[in-house]
Structure 1
């Protein structure tokens, strides 16, 4: 089993009702908007998905629901973010049972594992699932870097196929290409470096603001892929103030506010997160309102 690691894959938000239960109706509204825009996959249970607040049964419900919505049009991936190797293996096996076609996988949570421990953690999961795995390399937020030497060892597992490259070092795309060629696919994971990473050879984009602006996000990817760099850059420059809402500790609240503004989400978050208030809220709303006021007219990006 393998995934075509390319294109835009939204790290979708989890929708909650006013009673703090899963809002599967609004969740489907958003997923359908993503599919209509032409995304290439759906990633569940990441940071944007408020994974740390979700019960195991809620993660399973989200996986099963998404699989039923997409009906095989695009692969569904579940994020694995666990404290123990045993827990990670169990979560991966549940995701596979529930119909996920791939895994996004973080290093161990809470414990700052050493290089050998991190490698063994990833390998243990890879050896206990048939699903393809994308390693999420984000040392800025999660304090553990998966180095090139570590990938040398990890790639002995055939189903470790991709990296979500979030080191914030744009030259790392070239380092990965120089060392591994096409053996390790690169999905850029930082919205504000997305176009730069794609132009340097990244295969795709695990995106955040796509949750609110799916068409604009996919348009940037398709335009640059078709060599229409100027057209892609024009949209990207408009998009950048919005994309900066993703590189912020309140990214979930920020992006959910944007989803409300574009009609494909609600503001509800799960405690300890709380909706934005005061000047912080005013600033985010101003960024969103300015973006909407100047929203570009998109070309027929699906038929380039």
Structure 2
């Protein structure tokens, strides 16, 4: 049963590694502390930014167990499911539920270009075998399988498919979804350099990447927009944009890890086949990060903004 809302900022967490290629759980907890302190609304473990393709199933379980032990009991923890077979996806979803996950982010089977019927059946089969709420990941740009309005219409019968991470780069999809389904599916922006536009168009939340390095700025933008303080949010967003664009590069993991290392809540170490950035490419990314740190904005007291706005609307 769902005990949280698909609403607010959900970091797609990095997985920090030690030089011996094991997970750095101490640094993982340091980043968790920064995220929770900044006011994020939940976390996502084992996504693309978490280098899911290189993690073992046991490592994903260990990350979940550590996060549960470190965070408050009611804090939402979402596990990414990105398996190639329906059978394996169901198994991992059930294991995540048994281990205490609060929700799932579910990708289509990427290695096989499933058609609409196959993709819908894949999602339904998993949803029918777990009680956890599911957020589908719509990213046809990177994963080549779109989740269309007609597919969502078929999936509406799966009661625990309750949200979508919208990463199509087409913010019109937000209005299309709201026009077609009302609030049946919560919508979370999945593209950092479109977050302002998506939230203003009615998205309920933001699955963020640069939040791994700049959690307070990310949450501030979300809270300011939802409180109607658009110009204040836009000022921070414009400062943030060169960093946010690191999220849409093929080497987003390395780039965002560089940013997290620069802010002291992560490290640059990646797991092979990824390699750390060097040479001119490294200098270019470092310049973006250092320029942002030099001009880092002073944030307003954003943590109470959304709650205050909700009270005004209810009065």
TM-score range for the pair, normalised by the shorter chain length: over 0.9
* 1:114-171 per-position Cα deviation (integer Å, ceiling 9, x unaligned): 1100000000100000000000000000000000100011110100000000000011
Matched with 1:64 is: 65
Matched with 1:257 is: 258
* 1:20-43 per-position Cα deviation (integer Å, ceiling 9, x unaligned): 001100000000100000000000
Matched with 2:219 is: 218
In the aligned structure 1, how far is the partner of 2:96 from the partner of 2:64? Answer: 7
Preserved CA contact (<8 Å) 2:77 2:101:
yes
In the aligned structure 1, how far is the partner of 2:171 from the partner of 2:110? Answer: 25
* 1:188-220 per-position Cα deviation (integer Å, ceiling 9, x unaligned): 000000010000000000000000000000000
Matched with 1:95 is: 96
In the aligned structure 2, how far is the partner of 1:226 from the partner of 1:42? Answer: 22
* 1:241-287 per-position Cα deviation (integer Å, ceiling 9, x unaligned): 00000000000000000001000001110000000011111100000
In the aligned structure 2, how far is the partner of 1:125 from the partner of 1:72? Answer: 26
In the aligned structure 1, how far is the partner of 2:280 from the partner of 2:251? Answer: 13
Matched with 2:196 is: 195
Paired residues for 1:164-183 under 5 Å? 164-183=165-184
In the aligned structure 1, how far is the partner of 2:155 from the partner of 2:78? Answer: 20
Which runs of at least 4 in structure 1 moved beyond 4 Å after TM superposition?
none
Matched with 1:76 is: 77
Q: Secondary structure at the match of 1:275?
A: coil
Matched with 1:6 is: 7
Q: State the superposition RMSD in angstroms.
A: 0.6
In the aligned structure 1, how far is the partner of 2:118 from the partner of 2:199? Answer: 31
Number of residue equivalences: 304
* 1:58-105 per-position Cα deviation (integer Å, ceiling 9, x unaligned): 011011111111122420000000010001001101111111100000
Paired residues for 1:130-149 under 5 Å? 130-149=131-150
In the aligned structure 2, how far is the partner of 1:140 from the partner of 1:14? Answer: 24
In the aligned structure 1, how far is the partner of 2:136 from the partner of 2:235? Answer: 31
Paired residues for 1:1-304 under 5 Å? 1-2=1-2, 3-304=4-305
